[in-house]
Amino acid sequence: MVKIENEDARYTTFSKRRSTLYKKASELVGKYDVDVGITLFSPTDKPYSFFHPTVDVVVDRILNPNTQPSEDNSIAIASYRNKVKDQKVELDELDIIERGISNSTFGTKETNMKNIWESFMKFNEDEVNELELWLNSIDFDLKNYLSQLENNVSSSTQAPPKNVG
């Protein structure tokens, strides 16, 4: 391997490779129901990690491969695995919708975007305001969902909460 000298290209390549590794790890988790841990350092030495179901479970598995997880960890593991399966279903549904749009009778994505834009140009002021409110709502919902996904990833790198009883 040769070091990528262009700093921007190096960061872009790192980001793409990190995303690919995370995607492949997620696929392994979904397909084979395995525990996975990845730790990476960016070109600026910023650490990145992916652990499923949690960092503690993965490290415990490495240190004690023949030991079964505790009851608390088993519950947390099952919960994390269900979250991953639910999110995979959602992503698959979005993929189907995207393919449906791109393969629609309207033609190519460019043609679809042109048709959508042309329909926007026919809106009156009230319709434009309504569309703006709707887009702001969608923007808010997407940012909220992204935040939830990021929190799920960061929480999966922490120990599961203990049941207080």
C-alpha distances in angstroms, 18 versus 15, 42, 67, 101, 128?
Answer: 5, 9, 30, 29, 40
pLDDT along the chain (165 residues), means of 10: 88 89 85 87 90 84 82 78 76 67 57 73 77 77 76 56 48
Taking the model in full, what pTM does it have?
A: 0.48
In a domain, residue 38? The reply is yes
Predicted confidence at residue 39, as pLDDT, reads: 93
For 35, the token pair is 């525990």
Give the residue numbers spanning the domain of 76.
7-155
In a domain, residue 146? The reply is yes
Domains identified in the chain, total number = 1
Predicted confidence at residue 97, as pLDDT, reads: 64
In a domain, residue 165? The reply is no
Predicted confidence at residue 53, as pLDDT, reads: 81
